[in-house]
Chain A
Amino acid sequence: MPRQSTTTIPPIERLQQGDREILIELYRENERMVRKYITENSGTADDAEDLLQDALVVLWQNARKPNFELHAKISTYLFAIVRNQWLKTLEKRKRENGSLEVAGEGPATFTNETHLDLKIVRDYLNDMGDLCRKVLLMYYFDGYDMQTIATANDLANADTAKSKKYQCLKELGSRIKSKFHATDFLR
């Protein structure tokens, strides 16, 4: 069956089909609104840029969830994510400023350590073979089903893809455990 032109497919379907170009279009459509809101609420243009990208990532991940239903326009949905995230960020900054005034660098250090741990995982993930990396990202980040992952990676079927995913996750865990103690890793 010939592929339908992207201009006639609803954006949400394009998201579910894994068409990343729709993210650029959605960014362009919403950047002015988000920038206006953030800059009028103690933020900067850079904050607005980061928040809109984060919101698009959330939309990308949620769009493929089986129970995902969108009852509003995508722009409304994105703006809701941006606003909630920005309120959390403001609250966090306020809290951090207060903590710094009372107790120095405590919370900031904790955040950095957590981020460092995730960076270790990302580094080891990127050191793995392409197939493992793709299978793990397609399943845990993009949220594709096993049949789609099997098709995209020339695997025999969904069961094969599931087995491969299990092996890859175990391999990733083993590699990290060989260098780090679990308790150190999970500080």
Chain B
Amino acid sequence: MMNEIDERIIRYYDQEMSAAEVEQFMQEIAQNPALKEEFDFYGKLIEGIREEGAIELKEYIKEHLQSDSLSSQSNLWMYAAASVTFLLFSYFAIYSYLETGNIQEAAEIITLKDEKSDKFKFWKRNRNKTALQNIDSKSIYQDSLLALEEKRQSDSNVLMGMEIVEDDADVLTDIYSTEEQTAPPSPMSRAILITQVSVVPIKLGSVDVVTESTLDTRRLSKAPTIESAKDRDLSAADHLHGSLVNRAKGKSAVTATTKKPSEAYPAAAETEKKLDTAQIKTNIVANKTKPSRFKLMHFEDDKGRSHAEIVKNGNEILISIYNIWGENPLVFEINHEFYLDLGVSENKSSKEPSRIWKLPLNTGTYDHIDWVQNKRIIEQIRN
């Protein structure tokens, strides 16, 4: 059995004794070494308990001060990141203003309303991207579309011709309509419509097509000289609305000139000469009905791979592409063939396909998109 503690020791340390009791107890301790030893021992125990409590409380204070410090440090990082982001946006806005002289465009950049910012808006990617065709983007291009529509009507006879005439060289129709149209029922019923745009062909230039009767192949013998639109003063094109001019500058829309091929491409002239020597019969005209309008729709479906559908409706071609994106898609006409350019991928490795599709103008489903590999065609469109 454990020895009981002298009750007076506990009462002393718990401060339950009266002054008289304390005095009497102290006198007894002074005369009783065993009692003094017990008294000192429990005094030590209580001192140790108090020290443990103090250590624990100080640890509590330190821990909370450290967590507060870490929290304030993480806030500092957040402020720093926000400042850097703001500076970057400011930089791009100023750069855009200096580049285009358009304060509205600069304002759109800093408010993430510009077209290029859309690809960063990850929160909108999985939604129906028709929402992207907002009122702002409509208003930007609305006037331009009217002008282009008029131009297209007036130039329709040229589209049937074989030769590029001088005046037609400037007929560049970088058409990008955001007008909303109801998509026709798609066989890919589970697909999600992402965007829908109307595209009118750009006439790029005349390229002679030579048909080698023995081989039954078609190849380009010479190419026209291509001039980038940025080399000329687009602001003088009074039939284009200002916003479209800026856009065309950014895209480097291309136009054909009327330089003689032999002047521009000596190598092509040499090729032509060889072909003549081989008595290749040259047929130039492909008597087709010219499409008056292209409509392009982006879809995403659960198949994941890229595929496409073409629906022909009179002179209107409806293109539905699945699971592949294109920034500012454009249709180019080269020698009466039509090419859909989805733009250069961000991943510009040499193994990347050209992202230019020679459009089959017949209604049908295309499980595989054969990207153009002809370097000259790619060069014409991209340069």
Alpha-carbon gap, A121 to B2, bound state (A): 19
Taking Cβ atoms with an 8 Å cutoff, the residues of B that contact A are: 2, 4-5, 10, 37-38, 40-42, 44-58, 60-62, 64-65, 68
- Say what secondary structure dominates the interface of chain A: helix
Q: In this assembly, does A24 line the interface, its C-beta being within 8 Å of a C-beta of chain B? A: yes
Q: Is B42 touching A169 in the complex (CB atoms < 8 A)?
A: yes
Contact B53 A142 (CB under 8 A): yes
Contact B52 A170 (CB under 8 A): no
Residues of B within 8 A of A176 (CB): 45
Asked if A56 and B44 sit within 8 Å, CB to CB, the answer is: no
Give B41's nearest chain A residue, CB to CB: A182
A137 touching B53, Cβ below 8 Å: yes
CA distance A21 to B47 in the complex (A): 25
Known contacts A24-B65, A141-B49; A57 and B41 CB within 8 A of each other: no
Q: Which residue of A lies closest to B52 (CB)?
A: A122
**Nearest chain A CB to B94 CB, angstrom units:** 42
Q: Is A53 an interface residue (CB 8 A)?
A: yes
Decide: B10 and A166 in contact? CB cutoff 8 A: yes
Contact with B along A100-133 (1 / 0, CB 8 A): 0000000000000000011111100110000000
Residue A23 at the B interface, CB < 8 A? Answer: yes
Q: Are B68 and A172 in contact (CB under 8 A)?
A: no
Q: Check B48 against A170 for contact (C-beta < 8 Å).
A: no
B51 A122 Cβ-Cβ under 8 A: yes
Contact status of A53 and B47, CB under 8 A, knowing A125-B52, A141-B53:
no
Q: Is the CB of B52 within 8 A of A173?
A: no
Interface size class of A (residues with CB under 8 A): 35 or more
Instruction: Across the interface, name the chain B residue whose C-beta is closest to A121.
Output: B48
Which residues of chain A come closer than 8 Å to B61, judged between CB atoms?
23-24, 27, 53, 56
Contact B45 A57, beta carbon cutoff 8 Å? no
B57 adjacent to A57 (CB under 8 Å): yes
Tell me which residues from 3 to 22 in chain A have a Cβ below 8 Å from any Cβ of chain B: 20-21
Task: Give the residues in chain B near A119, CB-CB below 8 Å.
Answer: 48
CB contact under 8 A between A173 and B42, given known A23-B57, A53-B62, A56-B61: yes
User: Nearest B residue to A140 by beta-carbon distance?
Assistant: B49
The residue in A141, A182, A185 that gathers the most chain B C-beta atoms within 10 A of its C-beta is: A141
Task: Indicate if the CB atoms of A125 and B5 lie closer than 8 Å.
Answer: no
Q: What is the distance, in angstroms, from A153's C-beta to the closest C-beta of chain B?
A: 16
Nearest-neighbor residue (CB-CB) of B7 within chain A: A166
Identity of the chain B residue whose Cβ is nearest the Cβ of A136 in the assembled complex: B49
Is the pair B53, A121 in contact by a Cβ cutoff of 8 Å? no
Q: 3 smallest A-B Cβ distances: which pairs?
A: A121-B48, A141-B53, A122-B52
Q: What are 28 A-B pairs with beta-carbon distances under 8 A?
A: A20-B60, A23-B61, A24-B65, A27-B61, A28-B68, A53-B61, A53-B62, A56-B57, A57-B58, A118-B44, A121-B44, A121-B45, A121-B51, A125-B52, A136-B49, A140-B50, A141-B52, A141-B57, A169-B10, A169-B46, A170-B5, A173-B41, A173-B45, A174-B2, A182-B38, A182-B41, A185-B41, A186-B40
